[in-house]
């Protein structure tokens, strides 16, 4: 099963 990841898991605020 694949789940959808979020952009915020890869790019952090800044």
Partner 1 sequence: MLELRLVQGNLLKKVLEAVKDLVTDANFDCSSTGFSLQAMDSSHVALVALLLRSEGFEHYRCDRNVSMGMNLNNMAKMLKCAGNDDIVTIKADDGSDTVTFMFESPNQDKIADFEMKLMDIDSEHLGIPEAEYHAIVRMPSSEFARICKDLSSIGDTVVISVTKEGVKFSTRGDIGNANVVCRQNTTVDKPEESTTIEMHEPVSLTFALRYMNSFTKATPLSSTVTISLSSELPVVVEYKIAEMGYIRFYLAPKIED
We find the least distance from the C-beta atom of residue 9 to partner 1, in angstroms, to be: 7
Residue in the structure block whose two tokens are 């979020």: 6
Q: How far is the CB of 12 from partner 1 (least distance, A)?
A: 6
Question: Rounded distance, CA 2 to CA 14, Å?
Answer: 29
State the minimum distance, in angstroms, from the CB of residue 5 to partner 1. 4
Number of residues that bind partner 1 (CB under 8 A): 14
The tally of CA atoms less than 13 A away on the side-chain side of residue 11 is 4
Contact set for partner 1, span 1-14 (CB under 8 A)? 1-14
């Amino acid at each position: 099963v694949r789940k959808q990841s979020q952009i915020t898991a890869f790019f952090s605020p800044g």
